[in-house]
A and B are shown apart, each in its own frame.
Chain A
Amino acid sequence: MTGTWQRRHVLATDDWSRDEIEQVLQTTGAMAEVLQRPIRRTPALRGRTVILFFAESSTRTRVSFELAAKALSADVTNITASGSSVEKGETLLDTVRTLTALGGDVIVMRHAASGAPYFVAERTAAAVINAGDGWHAHPTQGLLDAYTLRAALGDLQGKRIVIVGDITHSRVARSDIDTLVPLGATVTLSGPPTLVPSAWRCGMTPRGVSFEADLDRALDGADAVIALRLQKERQHAGLLPSMREYAHAWGLSEARVGRMRPDAPVLHPGPMNEGIEIAASVAHGARSLIETQVTNGVAVRMALLYLLAAAPEQKE
């Protein structure tokens, strides 16, 4: 690992070097230790303001960022779409101008439109962290999954990770691929072919990624599996015959999980639909790292807030 942190924003990890990913994971390890202390707060971001701008609903990601910012002693302000001027028809541009004028050092944003954080990053002096934009990216989830898998499996070089579910609409799947592949892992995608991008389904997958519709075959000998949340509205869009059929073909049951290597862990970004994409016994079983992911999420977000906000803004 070389060099110091240079990025001003965290919008997606698709153009990150392995060094940058390693630096975040290493810093995350230090932050995880801070969270073990009797007093889980350090003064690193004293006097800095973090604005959480969530234009799409979220509980765990928002709370995770809030705890992360507070553990670094930053001031935190929450803005949600409902109950704000967004409901009165304020444009994203106007919202951004207001957030910038309010003096935020970091804007953490979630938005239903893919690419919205890029629009904001070009128009504000604050650092922008993407907390999920449409189908595009959820970089902090990708990083926390990589951190969690590395803590469980060691070096990811040559490890094979299965991601199962609605790949097409999943920003988590994209960010997981962007983070895990540079760390040396290969990714096997599985799920209903109607919910996998057609190019990927036909073999034109990114480097390090393959597609296997049959989940049993995908899981055989795998080192870990990440189950994605199935959004129930996909059924109404005609992409799924029924939830029952989905659970039968692509739900993670005890028997299926047993096809992986012994002790291969199970991850899920939450919130879970137990009994659909994952059986309750798997979600709460010995292999499950789902609660660890939540804990690690705070440490990853601390690392990113620190790297972006500890140094003064480099205004061009």
Chain B
Amino acid sequence: METTLARGAHSAAPPLLQVDSVTLAFGGVRALSGVGFGVQPGSITAVIGPNGAGKTSLFNTISGFYRPTGGSIRFKGQDITRIPAPQRARMGLGRSFQNIALFRGMTVLDNIKLGRHAHLKTNVFDALLYMGRARREEAALRRDIEERIIDFLEIDHIRHAPVSALSYGLQKRVEMARALAMQPEILMLDEPVAGMNREETEDMARFILDVRAEWGVTVLMVEHDMGMVMDLSDHVVVLNFGQVIAQGVPAVVQADPEVGRAYLGSGNVDELRAKLRAAAQPAMAGAA
């Protein structure tokens, strides 16, 4: 029987990321209602749920793209709910995107270098002159990226290629590289293996585990591939209709009948409606 002390996680430590009763509404549409969970440092946490459950909205809220209508988000003990997105990136919130958001006007290398932006110091005067501080910083950056990221993700053969010329799988890898360049303490991966074949998925899974082992990075991922979720994660959070309907160790979550119903449907709409209404009551009271 698996205990909640999952492999690799230090549950005695305070959570690296704490999401508390987060509610997100767009006009009349509630994307998230009273979502709450914690991510332990050094763990791999997966957020799963049927399409439209609010997983990407959750990521976007944590990243700072959306401002939640209620609730709070704490990162490294600090309340970041009001902090703008670029600053969150500087604090160590790294991110990859569901529908590859690489910059098509740049090469692979430049895209990866961009990830480091928030940690660099070159200002516009340094940049115009280039000789001196900018050149040194760029050279150091290049060296660091080559040795630690490009080597690690095995993309040295495409470093100067324009990203638009790459295959889907390679683009996803470059996205990961860019996220790593952000020197993240927590790496948020939005569907890292979407659209990949068996081999590519295994490669990516290996990278994720290596990232955790070698870099000490905490991973929070949205994923649909149940195999990957069950094999990799220490903790699973299940979303449906913007609410957390279950969370815990993979085996427990997998066995939870609620989760089964969320994915497969109970066939009884009234029962589902009643269940949701009941679950929404404490959340609404909390958000009020």
Q: Do A and B come from one complex?
A: no
- B: residues with CB less than 8 A from A are none
- A: residues with CB less than 8 A from B are none
